[in-house]
Amino acid sequence: MNVLISGGCKNGKSAFAQDIAVKLSGGGRRFYVATMIPYDGEDRKRIENHISDRSGMGFTTLEIGRDVGSCLDIAGENGTFLVDSITALLLNELFSSHGGEADPEAAERCIRGLDRIIRQAENAVFVTDYIYSDAFRYDEFTESYRSSLARLDRFLAKECGAVIELCAGSAIFHKGGFEL
C-alpha cells in the first residue's frame, strides 16, 4: 500500500507516518528514507529529534537527498519505505546543479523517482508539507517551488491508496483508510 501524509509544518506528520509504516510493514523490513540535507544547526537538531523519535522502531535509515528512487537500489524492493520529506527532496533537486540556478527539470526527476518507489516497493509512506494554500503572492522562485510541490503532491495523491491530512492533531482521511 502507498500512503501520502500532508499537513502543516512541524505538526507531527513524521511520527504519524512512522506509526503507519510500522503497521504496514508488520514484521517486515522498514526503511526511513531521509531526504533532508542539513544546512544549519536547526536542521541538524531536527534530524536528531527524528532519529530519537524512531529509536527502537526497527527502521534502517537511508540518507537520500536526491534521486529518491535509488533507495531501491540500496535496499531492494521488499520492505516498507517511509520517504520524509517530499518538501526537502524537491528543494534538493532544484539546486542539484545549474550553478545556483533552479533546475527546471527538478519536479520531473522527483516524479520519476517517486513513481519508481510506488511501482516497485512493497509499501511506501510519503510525507509532505502543505505550504501552498495561503493567498499571499511570493517572489517568482517561491511561487515556482510551491507550484512544483503542489504538482508532486497531486501526483502522489492520485497514485497512493490513502491520502491523510494532519490538521490540529486530527487525521483527516481524504482517500482510503485503515485502522491505526
Tens-digit pLDDT profile for residues 26-64:
999 999 999 998 888 988 888 888 788 888 899 999 999
Residue scoring higher pLDDT (97 or 159): 159
CA distance 61 to 38: 15
Q: What is the largest CA-CA distance in the chain?
A: 47
What's the average model confidence in pLDDT over 78-83?
98
Is the pTM above the cut of 0.95?
no
**Given a cut of 70, is residue 20 above it in pLDDT?**
yes
Q: Would you give the DSSP letter of residue 103?
A: P
Residue 39 backbone dihedrals phi, psi, to 5 degrees = -115, -15
Domain holding 57, by residue range, is 2-174
CATH of the domain at 58: 3.40.50.300
CA distance 117 to 137: 33
Residue 128 domain-assigned (yes or no): yes
Residue at 141: amino acid letter: F
Residue 180 domain-assigned (yes or no): no
Structural domain total, the chain: 1
Neighbours of 152 (CB within 10 A): 21
* Among 102, 96, 99, residue whose Cα is nearest residue 68: 96
What pLDDT score does 112 carry? 98
Tens-digit pLDDT profile for residues 105-152:
999 999 999 999 999 999 999 999 988 777 788 888 888 899 999 999
